[in-house]
């Protein structure tokens, strides 16, 4: 019998519903390391086809990883949530073969609005990007 | 003999240098519609593998298109430029088969910092996202 | 009898309700130049007490002017609106005696979320700041 | 004889140079609680003249406090720094008499760009705003 709190199980169900059918996150090669209410950790390895013309990862790669972690963390409460505004600062070049880990955490919330921070680290535990995401919570559920 | 102003030709050379080797922009299927100093227009079609678990385009797709248009517009002056901060607000769902056009334009600049806006439209001329990008200009050139 | 459209009158009533009791906007010396649905223009003159230690206007002065224009434009539809996220890029120093004009305009909206841009100009029509604001619309009205 | 590290003393000298002549931060009633490299804590009390038409603190008040903490933390290394982009999310209403504390900390930096987060708390230790600031470091010094 599981000793996980029921909410964590629900977060896992939401994630399962979202991730299983998320073709782009799967193309990216994202793996789920952690999921719980207001929190998500994802990991991926940067491939050659993800590089831009300067031989570093396209900004869209790091953004996409962070945005997925944000989306899973937002919806982890089982309120269907919409991204309202996201921003990302890229602080260090990402190269082929780098292993990126994105950690999303809730910073503040009101009834309708959630404010998350996602820190993206490389395999040397250096911050490569800082992401902020704001979501709007609808009254719908992700899983019944 | 070309009647294009020389600067536009230089912007085109920079873009050619950047785009030809940009594997991710090419995986995305981006086409270049316009390039000149401080300005770039890109277009792409959304494919099934770009969708998330809610059957709409992953936020990273629209971001990546806008970020490419921003990067090409930043570097169009032939000063190698680094992205300092970008933000995007997604205002309308994007679906499989939608044709997205991203128009990047310089808003303000100082010697070292450029501030760009990118508007992303769908095939019905509706705004699907508003992107803001800030870049830092180094003293290096993109093409000699 | 007035020939103004009724909505513009309502926007003006909302602004009157908000501005009359807005002690800080009045301390700032803001004047209202234009108000209509989704649009507001404010003007102010920078005073000595608004400068920081480098003898230029504190970043909070330009922000406050832009934020007021944003707030009045958000609420102009008479749906009580809350600021969700705002950002500002300062592109040019502002000095004592400068006359600043902030023009707020709706860029995109959904039923619940509005996305506004505010451009702040000085008396030489130079952009001193670009502001973006996102608001959430409640079901309450500002004026009955 | 002081046992403070010399860098902290330099940060304090920079702050002294900036704060002593910062008329607006003084109008706001800001007090300095902590200053060291990449770090600054400020406090202030919200006065009646800082309220907007809904009887809550104008967004510009919280922004100004956070922006001052950001500016002092940016310049604390004694490299004259310019604000490139700032954003703030207001998550809780601030009222007359509230005592606000803004804690600014460096998140990441490159040679030229610094990325700071400022958390603003009220007297109940509740987060009222989350601020992000990006600065560009010039080669000039603040104090010789």
Number of domains in chain C: 1
CB nearest C115 (choices: B89, B107, B110): B89
Identify whether B102 is part of a domain.
Answer: yes
Q: What is the pLDDT of residue C16?
A: 87
Residue A111: inside a domain: yes
Q: Which residues of chain D have pLDDT under 50?
A: 1-2
Model confidence over D53-62: pLDDT tens digits? 999 999 999 9
Which of D58, D72, D92, D102 to probe the C interface (max C CBs under 10 A)? D58
Q: How confident is the model at residue C4 (pLDDT cuts 50, 70, 90)?
A: low
Residue B26 lies in domain: 6-141
3-class SS of residue D63: helix
Distance CA D99, CA D122 (A): 6
Which of D89, D110, D134 is nearest residue A115 as measured by Cβ atoms?
D89
- Please judge whether D86 and C87 are an interchain contact, meaning their C-beta atoms are less than 8 angstroms apart: yes
Please list every residue in chain A whose beta carbon sits closer than 8 Å to the beta carbon of residue C134: 84-85, 134
B5-20: pLDDT as tens digits:
666 689 889 888 899 8
Does B71 contact A52 at a Cβ distance shorter than 8 Å?
yes
Inside any domain, residue B1: no
Q: Are D120 and D133 in contact (CB under 8 A)?
A: no
Q: Which chains touch C (3 or more CB pairs under 8 A)?
A: A, B, D
- Cβ pair C21:D64 closer than 8 A: no
Residue A30 tokens read as: 């994202």
Domain annotation covers residue A1: no
Q: Give A-chain residues touching C113 at CB under 8 angstroms.
A: 84, 136
pLDDT at residue number A32: 95
Distance in angstroms (rounded) separating the CA atoms of residues D122 and C8: 38
| Bigger pLDDT: A52 vs A5 | A52
CB-CB under 8 Å, A92 with D110 = yes
* Chain B residue with the nearest C-alpha to that of D112: B136
Query: Residue-wise pLDDT tens for chain B (144 aa)?
Result: 445 566 668 988 988 889 988 999 999 999 999 999 999 999 999 999 999 999 999 999 999 999 999 999 999 999 999 999 999 999 999 999 999 999 999 999 998 999 999 999 999 999 999 999 999 999 999 998
- pLDDT band for A1, please (50, 70, 90 cuts): very low
User: In a 3-state reduction of DSSP, which class is residue A110?
Assistant: coil
- The DSSP H or E segment spanning B82 is strand B79-90
> Is B24 inside a domain boundary?
yes
What distance in Å separates the CA atoms of residue B54 and residue A56, rounded to the nearest whole number?
30
How are strands ordered across the β-sheet holding D79-90? C31-36, C39-45, C99-109, C113-121, C127-141, C79-90, D79-90, D127-141, D113-121, D99-109, D39-45, D31-36
Residue B1, pLDDT score: 43
Q: Mark yes or no for CB contact C115/B87 under 8 Å.
A: no
The full DSSP string for chain C is ---S-HHHHHHHHHHHHHHHT-HHHHHHT-EEEEEETTEEEEEEE--GGGB-TTSSB-HHHHHHHHHHHHHHHHHTTSEEEEEEEEEEEE-S---TT-EEEEEEEEEEE-SSEEEEEEEEE-TTS-EEEEEEEEEEEEEEES--
Q: Nearest by CB to D67, which of C48, C50, C60?
A: C60
Neighbours of chain A (3+ CB pairs under 8 A): B, C, D
Q: How far is the alpha carbon of B34 from chain D, nearest alpha carbon, in Å?
A: 28
How is residue C50 annotated by DSSP? G
DSSP A32: E
Strands C39-45 and B113-121: unpaired
Higher pLDDT residue, C18 or D97?
A: D97
User: How far C3 CA lies from chain D's nearest CA (Å)?
Assistant: 28
Average pLDDT, chain A: 93
Residue of D nearest to B137 (CA): D112
Chain A closest-CA separation from residue D1 CA (Å) = 38
In this prediction, residue A144 carries a pLDDT of 85
Option in B51, B71, B85 nearest A24 (CB): B51
The DSSP bridge pattern shows strands A113-121 and B127-141 to be unpaired
Spell out which residues of chain A touch residue C136, defining contact as CB-CB under 8 Å. Answer: 84, 112-113, 136
Does residue A2 surpass a pLDDT of 80? no
Q: Looking at beta carbons, which residues of chain C come within 8 Å of D52?
A: 18, 21-25, 68, 71
Contact D112 B85 (CB under 8 A): no
Average pLDDT, chain C: 93
Residue C123 domain-assigned (yes or no)? yes
CATH number of the domain enclosing B98: 3.10.129.10
Mean pLDDT of C139-144: 91
- Assign A9 a pLDDT band (cuts: 50, 70, 90): confident
The residue with tokens 């919806």 is: A75
What's the pLDDT score for residue B8? 65
Query: How many B/D residue pairs have CB atoms within 8 Å?
Result: 19
Q: Nearest CA to CA, how far is C68 from chain A (Å)?
A: 20
The pLDDT of residue C1 is: 43
Give ∠ CA B80-B82-B87 in degrees, rounded to 5.
Answer: 140
Q: What percent of chain C has pLDDT over 90?
A: 82
In a domain, D83, yes or no: yes
Q: Which chain C residues touch A if contact means CB-CB below 8 Å? A: 84-85, 87, 112-113, 134, 136
B40/D21 Cα distance (integer angstroms): 44
Nearest-Cα residue of chain D relative to residue A111 = D91
User: Is D140 in a helix, a strand, or coil?
Assistant: strand
Q: What share of chain C is helix, strand, coil (3-state, %, to 5)?
A: 30, 45, 30
| Distance (Å) from the alpha carbon of D12 to chain C's nearest alpha carbon | 14
Interface size between A and B, measured as CB pairs under 8 A? 126
Nearest CA in chain A to B21: A53
Q: Which chains touch D (3 or more CB pairs under 8 A)?
A: A, B, C
A48 is a domain residue: yes
């Amino acid at each position: 019998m599981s000793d996980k709190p029921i909410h964590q199980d629900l977060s896992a169900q939401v994630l399962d519903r979202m991730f299983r059918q998320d073709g782009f996150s799967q193309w990216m090669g994202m793996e789920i390391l952690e999921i719980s209410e207001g929190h998500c950790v994802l990991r991926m390895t940067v491939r050659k086809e993800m590089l831009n013309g300067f031989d570093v990862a396209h900004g869209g790669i790091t953004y996409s990883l962070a945005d997925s972690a944000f989306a899973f963390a937002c919806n982890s409460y089982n309120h269907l949530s919409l991204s309202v505004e996201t921003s990302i600062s890229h602080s260090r070049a990402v190269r082929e073969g780098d292993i990126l880990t994105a950690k999303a955490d809730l910073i503040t919330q009101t009834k309708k609005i959630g404010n998350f921070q996602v820190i993206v680290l490389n395999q040397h535990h250096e911050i490569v990007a800082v992401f902020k995401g704001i979501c709007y919570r609808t009254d719908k559920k992700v899983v019944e």
